Structures are given as C-alpha cells and as structure tokens.
Structure 1
Amino acid sequence: MNKWVVKEFMADHNHPLVEQKNIQFLRSHRVIKNADKAQLNAMRGVGMGTSQIMDYMVQQSGGYNNVGFTKKDLYNHVDADRRVHLRDGDAKGALAYLCGKSEMDPSFYYKYNVDEDNRLANLFWADSTSKLDYNCFGDVLAFDTTYRTNAYKKPLMKVLALIFESWRFVLDAMNNKKPLSVITDGDKAMREAIKRIFPDSCHRLCAWHIQHNAFTNVHVKDFTNHFSKCMFMEGTVEEFECAWNDMLEMFNLHGHKWVTNIYAKRSRWAEAYLRGHFFAGMKSTQRCESMNAYLNRFFKTRLKLFEFVKHFDRALSCIRHNEAKAEFETHHCSAVLTSKLYPLEKYIEHLEAISESCIMKRWSKLAKETVQVHHDNESQGDAPNIIRYGALSSMCSRMSYFASQSEKAFKEARCEIQRLTCQMEELCKNSVEKSEREDLKATKHHVRDPIIVKAKGNPGNLKDKFKKPRHCGKCKKVRHTVRKCPEFVNTHNAFINIEDSIKDMGDMPSLLNHNMEGGSRHETNEFSQNVSLTFFK
C-alpha cells in the first residue's frame, strides 16, 4: 500500500497551530448533532430562549469545550430551521396547522378570508372546549383589540381566540348564540359591528378607558372624581341628569367638546342607563388586560403567524390546566366555614338554604354538568418526533441517575447506549416517515401572507413620541441636516464664487501666491489679506 512520508517540515510557510483551548472555535470542530437539535426543538417548544438553551447544554456537557458548537451556531440553526418551516408561506403553515387540529378535534372550527391580492386578511378559530365554554358562560363578552403580538400587527381578540372584524363567523361557530352584553373600548368600527351582528346585545364602553380619556381631555382639578361619581352612581336616569348638570355648573364646562361628545354616549357608560342588564360584575375590559399580561409569558413580539397559533395553543393549554386544578380543589377540598358578612348572617340566620331562584347556574359548581367536554390531547399538533423524543428522555432519566452513581454502572451503561445508538441510527436511515415539515407542505390552502398593517386603537411606541428631534450639526436647528443647512449652502456658494474670481485672475501672477504642499493648492489674494482659502483636488 502506498504511503506518504513527511521528509522535511519547513515552518516558514505555515501559520502556527491553534492552541488546545481554541480548538472549539474551529469550523471543523463545530457541529450540532441531531440529538442536540431534537433537544433544542423540545426546549424551544416550551418557550425557552436560545441563550438559555445554550447555557443548559453547556452545563449538561461539562463546559464550553465539550458542547461542540458556539452560541452563534445555535442561533444560525434556529433561524435556518425557522425559514424551512416558512418556506411555503407563513399563512399556509398556520392554516395547515389549524387544519390538522380540525382533523383531531371533530368540533374544531376555523375560517378565514382573503383580500383582493389573495392575502390572508382575517382569521378565526375556536376548538370544542372554547365553544362549550361560550355555551355556558357566553352571556357577557369583553373585547380588547389593542393587543398585538404578531409580525403583521394584527390585533388579537382574546376570549374567543379571535382575529376578525366581521363577526359573522362567531355566530356560525357558536350555533347563533348571541351574548346578552358586550364590553369594548371606544372603537367606532367595533360599535358598528356590534350593532349589526349583535343588535339585541347591550353594548357597554370600558369604564377605565373613559376615565382615562376624561383625565386626558379635561384639565380641570377634581373633574375626574366628580365624573366618576356620575358614571357609577346607581340612581335613576333623572338623578344622573341632575348630577351631570350640577357638575357642568360647578366646573363651567358647558360647550366643552369632549364633555359634549361623551354625554351623547351616556347610554353606553352611565350606570343609571345600564341598570337591569347583566354584565357579570364587569365594568371594564380589565380581564382582557390581565389576559394580556398572562399571554406575554408565552409570546414574543412580532411572532410569525405559524409560530403564534402554536404558542397560543400552549398558553391555552396552561390556562385550562389551571382551571382543571381549581375545579378539582372545588369538589375535593374541605370548605372553610367562615364569613365576614356578619350583618348578612343576622338577617338570614333563619334560612337553611338559599332559594334556587336567587342563584345563577353559571356561578355554581354545576355550570358544566349538562355539557360533554372534549378532553383533547394537549400535545396535539406537535411534531411526533418531538413527542417521542420527550417520552424517551423521560424514560432514560431514571436509568441515567443510577448509572451515574458508580464507575462500573457508568461504563456498562455507556457501552450499552453506544450499541443502541448505532442500532437506532441504522434503523433511522432505513425508515421512511412523514415529518412535520412534509405535513405542512401538503396543505390545500393557497393563501399569501398578510401585509403589515397599523392596528386601530394601539398607540405607537411611547419612545417615538418623546424622542428628541434631530438637530443640524452646524446651526443646531431642527428639520434639516448639515448637508441641507441654509447657512452651509450660502457659505459654500460664496466659496465657489471666490474660487471663480481667483481663476479669472490667472493672468495676474503677481497677485497670487501659489503654495502646493500635500496635494493642496493654497491661494491667497493679496488684495484682501484676511481671505485665505484651501481647495483640495
């Protein structure tokens, strides 16, 4: 067999070898293995950041020297994997995901519409559990359309997992059951939609938004306090009108534009006009705001639509888990027999039971007794390989614990794992399975991605409002830069005129002193010794 033999080594034409501690940065030594990729996908599926995953893998492998890749490699892999998922389009991926959920849940409902360019315009979906919850508790709806978490700046309406402005799909999905009351902010488009789709529902404006607008638009001391008293007073309509007129007289606000406009809407915010309508104790969209804070744990800003629907499912699964825990404690925990309503106890001490006519079923433990809840698998819609990976990891954790307790057990487990690894690797090469990405490609939806829009009611970044204007570097004024500064332009034109005059005097060498040093021409006009110009070629 022919062999090459090193006869002479000349170090003059070679770079020094990399030190042992820097080998980890060589491209040839940086590889993300398939096992690491599977672990990365599983950890990202529960919301862990790439930087946190890198720290965990470093600790798991025993240091940066042993992990086998850098943090930048991990970020590059995440970005490349994300582009692969979205290669057929973000909208197609999201619709394919919802289509897969509809196959697993027979009562799952989703619909969408497109614009004239065949771009996804609006999307609505509701699973079977959401529909059953609406059937039991859908007598009051609260909407907040200012929460945006996706890359297209589309508003998210919680409660019904709604991203839709034309609400006809809501009635179709919920068997045409209309709510008794609706609470929203002051968006005009929503008011018109509610009037058209829910004509018999009582529409109430959010009390918090109205109070905030009162404080913002009327700069009169103590006005907001008196306005709130009028808004929440539980008297008759005549008493409200009397209190309102007294307030106008007190603060001399007759003819004030905002006060006049808000008074015209009093039937949608004054408690005196809303008496007799059921709102489940709510006067604002604060529950939507609290839901926003909860969803922030699962969402990052500017998520792609495909990523958003998956993260929303994870958040919804966590909410339902907490609800199931609370329901279990309600039925199986011992009640604490105590009450601080001592005056009430004195008046009802002769009663042994409260009349059923005084108790609404929606507030009782039996609110869902007549409905059959579809207990779907929480992991539905996730990639099967990730599920299998998680199951195997859980099964091996106990074995790893015992194998790490002694040197003999460690060596035996390592040999067996190496043998099984080679066997599974060969089996994986010969097996043909459909992956999640192939499933996404087989979608019947041919919809383009939506365009980025500016959502109504969502204010811009506050940093932009208070951002200092850009100043000119020469005159220090705003609305222009140095290149367009009027003073600079005038001075520059003056320089050009002087240079032209000097060139015209080229036949008078006695009047000019030429000094050519360093690639410049220094010209001094002897008629005006205080003018010295330097022109660079």
Structure 2
Amino acid sequence: MNNSFNVSEEVEEQDNNVEFNESGEVEEPKKGMYFILKQEIYAYYAKYTKQLGFAIAYRTQKVTRDGEVKYIGIEYCKERVKATLQKDGRYKLTIAALEHTHDLIPTDSRHFPMNKRILTPVKRRLEVNDAAGIGVARNFHSIVVEAGGYKALMFDEQDARNYIQNARRLRLGVGDAESITFYFHKMREENSNFYSTIDLDEDGCMRNLFWAHARSRAGYKAFGDVVSFDTTYLTNKYDMLFALFVGVNHHGQSILFGCGLLSNENTKIFVWLFKEWLSCMSDTSPKAIITDQCRTMQNAIEIVFP
C-alpha cells in the first residue's frame, strides 16, 4: 500500500489544537494548529513522523537579538512544517506540506537514530549479563525473546553492542574528566592525607574512580571493625554506579570510609576497588563486611579479604 499523500498549503486555516485518536496516535499536521512551547512542536512532529515510518532530518529556526524564536521549521525530504510565533505567545503552524516520494513503513521507524532508545531496566540487564560473561549476541537475543520479538524493541544488536562498550567506561560529560583530575589534585594540596586513584582503560579513558577524605581515613582507624559496602545508580544524567564504604561511630551515626564511581559491576572492577580501598586504609582489613547478595561482589571480597 502506498502511504504517499499531499495536503495543499492553500487549505483554509483553522484554530486547531493537537488531538489524539483512540489508538493514541497524533493527527496529521494541519495549518492553524497551535502550540504553547517550541519543544511541543518538536515532540509532536517527532511522534507523527515515527508513526508513519520516517524521522525528522532537518530543523531550522529564526531567533531575534533578544533571544525570541520567531519561527521554527522542521523538514524531511519534501515534507515540512513551519510554525510562527503569534502575538499571544503561542506558535501557529503556517505551513504543513506533507509530501513523500517513497513508500513509508511505520514499523521501520524504529531504525532511525532519533527513534532509537534503550530503557534503563534494559540497560541494567545488558550490563548484568555482560558482567556475567554472556556474549553480546546471546545477551541481545535474550532481551528480544523476553520482549516478544525484534519489532518490540527500539534498538538493534549493534546499539546493544555500542552501549555495552560505553558502559565499560564512566559516563562523563565534556570536561568532567579534567574537572575530576583538578579536584583530586586540589584536595591533595590542601591535605596530604586525601587519597584518590583513577583507573584508565586501554584508550586512556576513565573507567573507575576511588577517593577518601582524610577524615574518612581517620574514622576508619577508630570505627573500622565492621564496614557496610553498597552500590547504587546515581539518578542524574550520567546514570553511573556509585559505591560507598560506610561505618558507624560511637554515637550510632553513619560515617563515610570512602567513595567510588564504577563503570560496571563485575568481579574484576570490585577487586580493583577493594584493593584500592584497602591500600588507602593502610592494608588493615575490617573484621566484617556487610553487602547485598551480589555474587560478583562476594567473589571480589573472597579474593581481596581472604
């Protein structure tokens, strides 16, 4: 079936707002539609293009000297829409030219880069399987089976492979590596008992970090009989694994014995972290370590604290 269609730009303008049909799909763009924010235009058109089987290829906008966006244009081949800022502060679709030169297959829209997405629970599954030594092909196939088929996923095996490769490094933003290095250097200048170490991969990229303040090292000497070790994923844009060594002082208060940022949860990385922490604490092992039931963590403890 050919899904090509045309809508003339001479269609009478109407004071429309975006509507959804019973299946949750957005309606076809029409001249006269209103949007409050420019982000709403992008989100609406991206959803519309996705359900038809293509993706946004080009975006333009005109901004005044005071930073006000006067109009927005979004294009895909010959298809384009344009929204213009009105006096009431809303954006109005003034052009809705919907024309295609090829057949559209809605189910194929998941292959466009802008539509690809790996949800956080799936990311964790990929990482856990990778840490367990499961190859990428088997790892991805297990997720495909659980999801009910390839069409149920918004990513492919190469996306999974790329994610796993990146997951083995710290998810740092531009300039963050330099900022961390500068911070560690600054802290050591202020107090020589500040401890920090950086684990690099074969490409020289940061893979894991560990640091402990002088107060943490002093606290461990007094209250380091029992240590609680836990990991949690930071709920920020980096979504990194944060590791904590915690103890309890004579007032029953929690005290920090050290922190780590980890790229993965495999035995090798936990061994690296525990060895660095042990070195930081003058090779004095605790009498007991309290952890969760993570098997890779338990394996590392047996290796470093026999």
TM range (shorter): 0.3 to 0.5
Structure with larger Rg: 1
- The structure with the greater share of residues assigned to helix is 1
Give TM-score, length-normalised by structure 2. Answer: 0.36
What's the TM-score once normalised by structure 1's chain length? 0.21
Greater strand proportion: 2
**Structure with more relative contact order (C-alpha pairs < 8 Å, separation 6 or more):** 1
